[in-house]
Structure 1
Amino acid sequence: MTGHAIRVILADDHTLFRDGLAALIETDPAFTVVAQCPDGTSAIEVITRDVPDIAVVDIEMPGPGAHAVVTAIRAAAPTVSIVVLSMHQDAELLRSLLDAGASAFLSKTVARDQLIAGLHSVQRSPDNVLLSTSRDSISHALDSETPGPPNLLSPRELEVLHLLAEARSNWQIGRELGITESTVKRHLTNIYAKLGAVSRVDCVRKATAFGIPGV
């Protein structure tokens, strides 16, 4: 525990399900549900404005699709752990949401204890990905065609990436390399584009997946 409750925002278009989920989550005193959203548009607005610790997002809501919702939240509020709930076991959907930056993909059929444990897991280890789906879905997602290697990073971009992987701030990276923060931001923009990343965490994840040494 960090001395304060872990703040959770729920997004689902079924009011009864949201209320029940909120009550279930708050049976663990570590968590407090601070807001509920009925659609993708309000989910993006509320989550990026209030920046909770965890966002629990249903895969099917009115408004932008799940991929768009996860992408928007990850870009605007990269510290939020995004837990996607779904009744589907689609491998392409799973891969798409993980690529967009989802922290966990959980079936709506999970038991209470599994859900609570999952929320604790993404809070405790935000760089890890938690999956609760069928073995076939995971296998198909891993076996599906992977993108080719990214455009070659420059030596300076590799230096920035290595320091980013050490969780250095832009200021710390700039000081280490003797460049300004604005230059660091420009390098990060280029790195994100080359790796197809949407956040610092996603950038390190993609670099690791591409096998870039030193990350």
Structure 2
Amino acid sequence: MNDGAAATVTIVVADDHSLFREGLKELLTTVPEFSVVATACDGDQALEQVECHRPDILLLDVVMPGHSAAAVVERTRELSPMTRTVILTMHDDTALLQELLLLGAAAYLVKNMARDELVAALTTVVHSSGNVLLSVPQGTIRALDRRSPDVEAPSPRELGVLRLVAKGMTNRQIASWLHLSEATVKRHLTNLYAKLGAVSRVDAVRRADALGLLDIS
């Protein structure tokens, strides 16, 4: 939340449907604490506006031209770490929800929620930076819960390797530090990629951190 005489929550609204986008902007403008600083009609514009304004909240639709929602969520964390990305969508897809939360989305909301519920949700997101907010059908939550046991948790040794990766160590340095062979370190990382659904060292660290598995402070 930006500093000022009166606390103002700055928001960028990104949706490819102009009528919905402008309506949402008008709705949010009626809230004294909110300021819609920009709008975007696709993923590329959304990232441009985030970089330009560094808003408190990016209110993001899932299906838009340009960069995908996943790419926007991930890139927003790099461009403006303090910006909280809130997904507002008609899609209550469990796999999509899980992916976006792992990438750093702060909330996942469905578009059929009432005005007061949306305002309350955005206010909560700003004031509860350490939490994730969900407003989806109960069936989606149950499906998400059912998916969890299917994902094998990283072992303590694997997490130990990943913490050293997060500190910038190479495989050779990690092997020396933990008294392992480089081949063993590589095997641990391969296992981590599979368990976390990661595609790189940086991605593995980001995903594990989003799940609260790392303590790298």
TM-score interval w.r.t. the shorter chain?
0.7 to 0.9
1:170 is matched with none
Give, as a single letter, the amino acid of the residue that structure 2 aligns with 1:122. V
Residues 149, 43 of structure 1: alpha-carbon distance in 2 compared, 3 angstrom cutoff? same
3-state SS in 1 of match to 2:30: coil
3-state SS in 2 of match to 1:196: helix
TM-score w.r.t. length of structure 1: 0.74
1:140 is matched with 143
Alignment of 1:97-116 (within 5 A): 97-116=100-119
What is the CA distance between 1:205 and its match in structure 2?
Answer: 3.6
Residues 43, 214 of structure 1: alpha-carbon distance in 2 compared, 3 angstrom cutoff? closer
Per-residue CA deviation, residues 143-198 of structure 1 (Å, 9 max, x unaligned), is: 2132541623259x48xx8xxxxxxxxxxxxxxxxxxxxxx6x36xx9x9377244
Q: Residues of 1 paired with 2:152 and 2:28: CA distance? A: 37
Quick one: which of 150, 160, 166 aligns to 1:153? 160
Q: Residues of 2 paired with 1:18 and 1:214: CA distance? A: 39
Per-residue CA deviation, residues 47-73 of structure 1 (Å, 9 max, x unaligned), is: 133210000000111112211111111
Q: Residues of 2 paired with 1:112 and 1:197: CA distance? A: 37
2:201 is matched with 193
TM-score w.r.t. length of structure 2: 0.73
Q: Residues of 2 paired with 1:213 and 1:132: CA distance? A: 28
Alignment of 1:20-59 (within 5 A): 20-59=23-62
Residues matched between the structures, number: 182
Per-residue CA deviation, residues 9-63 of structure 1 (Å, 9 max, x unaligned), is: 0100111111110111111100000000000111112213321000000011111
Give, as a single letter, the amino acid of the residue that structure 2 aligns with 1:196. A
Larger Rg: 2
List gaps (5 residues or longer) in structure 2.
175-199
3-state SS in 2 of match to 1:95: helix
Q: Residues of 2 paired with 1:9 and 1:194: CA distance? A: 27
Residues 152, 64 of structure 1: alpha-carbon distance in 2 compared, 3 angstrom cutoff? same
Q: What percent identity do the matched residue pairs reach?
A: 36
Residues 47, 213 of structure 1: alpha-carbon distance in 2 compared, 3 angstrom cutoff? closer
What is the CA distance between 1:127 and its match in structure 2?
Answer: 1.3
Residues 22, 213 of structure 1: alpha-carbon distance in 2 compared, 3 angstrom cutoff? closer
2:83 is matched with 80
The answer as to whether partners of 1:153 and 1:194 remain within 8 angstroms in 2 is no
The answer as to whether partners of 2:12 and 2:37 remain within 8 angstroms in 1 is yes
Per-residue CA deviation, residues 122-158 of structure 1 (Å, 9 max, x unaligned), is: 1001111111101111111222132541623259x48
3-state SS in 2 of match to 1:74: helix
What is the CA distance between 1:88 and its match in structure 2?
Answer: 1.2
